[in-house]
Amino acid sequence: MTSDRITSVRISSVTLPLHTPISDAKVLTGRQKPMTEVALLFAEIGTESGHEGFGFGYSKRAGGPGQYAHAREIAPELIGEDPSDIDRLWTKLVWAGASVGRSGLSTQAIAAIDVALWDLKAKRAGLPLAKLIGAHRDSVRCYNTSGGFLHIPIEEVLDNTTASRERGIGGVKLKVGHPDWRVDLERVTKVREHLGDDVPLMVDANQQWDRPAAQRMCRRLDPLDLVWIEEPLDAYDHEGHAALARTFDTSIATGEMLTSVAEHAELIRAGGADIIQPDAPRIGGITQFLKLAALAEHHRLQLAPHYAMEIHLHLAATYPQEPWVEHFEWLEPLFNERMEIKDGRMLVPDRPGLGLTVSDQARAWTVDSVTVTA
């Protein structure tokens, strides 16, 4: 017997414009163009008892229309199902599209649906998502990334770090990977001097160094007392990351670009990260994130989920070791609520589920939408 059934699934494609084109090292090396928008995939699930769940995924640059098309195609598989059986439904959805793989775009389409199912389950229980899963803490250390991109002049970066600290954000991450390594070193040194020795500072090379360059840069950055050096190498160079982790005092962080638990398992097996950075929308949602988190904890790894703080705050709160969550204000216009930050930490909302409601602005940015019913 079941207490409820899924009666409707609404899938929406939403395009969020960015106020300023964004550039990291991938742009400066000519591999990508500046980012001007974020493509969002929304999933809204309704049940016969009147409960509703909301989830989202995203794509930067290409991929958003593909995620939307795949989610729209598999959504009918949910009609009539018990929304509590989330793991079984994830498996059903992944096999519905198995011919296009069990990672990447296909499972990223499932992620938005999976998040909606977890949001629904927590709302039915009257609990914040973190409490439904089982929280270790009611707040998580946070750091800001959006103020430290490579297209931003260093004087403005310094102002951004001050503003972040005044807002209560605990740490600062600075983008590196400039074609001229001297520019990187000068910018990181200035930020460290501006912040002082006690403020957590991270850097992110976005995969743009080869092994010799990464060795040299890690050696130059080691004395600056960084929390971590992120993605110094290609995301799939697990052995190269492992060599850096063994050689230098500064922790090596990576994982955001991997798109399945299986890919992360290979990274962990190689010893390629001190700090693992999974992204729930990229690896298939909360169901897969929790499986990976158990594996990461078994290997005593630190956790710092990538982006999507609105989801990852809840998940980081459930990790046994003290984690980090990444602060990006980019998605704030999509929702009526804001994450609360105090004394360097992001507070887990006490509202049921994710604690989010979709804003009128997000509805206005909707490009296409389809609703599947019985």
Residue 212 DSSP SS3: helix
Q: Closest by alpha carbon to 203, among 181, 224, 230?
A: 230
Q: How far apart are CA 347 and CA 140, in angstroms?
A: 7
Binding site feature residues = 24-26, 60-61, 173, 204, 206, 230, 256, 326
If 0-12 CB within 10 Å is exposed, 13-18 middle and 19+ buried, where does residue 197 land?
exposed
Reported as type and span, the H/E element at residue 144 is strand 139-144
Query: Do 55 and 335 form a contact (C-beta atoms < 8 A)?
Result: no
- Polymer length of the chain: 374
Could you tell me which residues are beta bridge partners of residue 6? 47
Q: Is 306 a catalytic residue?
A: yes
| Active-site residue, selected from the candidate residues 123, 178, 306, 327 | 306
Record the tokens describing residue 319, joined without a space. 């990790």
Binding site feature residues for Mg(2+) = 204, 230, 256
Q: Is 190 a catalytic residue?
A: no
Residue 145 DSSP SS3: coil
How is the chain split among helix, strand and coil, in percent rounded to 5? 40, 25, 35
| Active-site residue, selected from the candidate residues 123, 175, 312, 327 | 175
Binding site feature residues for substrate = 24-26, 60-61, 173, 206, 326
Q: Closest by alpha carbon to 193, among 240, 154, 153, 237?
A: 154
DSSP string covering 94-121: HHHTGGG-SSTHHHHHHHHHHHHHHHHH
Residue with tokens 């929790």: 290
Reported as type and span, the H/E element at residue 20 is strand 6-22
Query: Do 77 and 96 form a contact (C-beta atoms < 8 A)?
Result: yes
Alpha helices in 234-285 (DSSP H): 238-247, 261-269, 280-283
Residues 6+ positions from 87 with CB-CB distance below 8 Å = 287
> Which sequence positions are flagged as catalytic?
175, 306
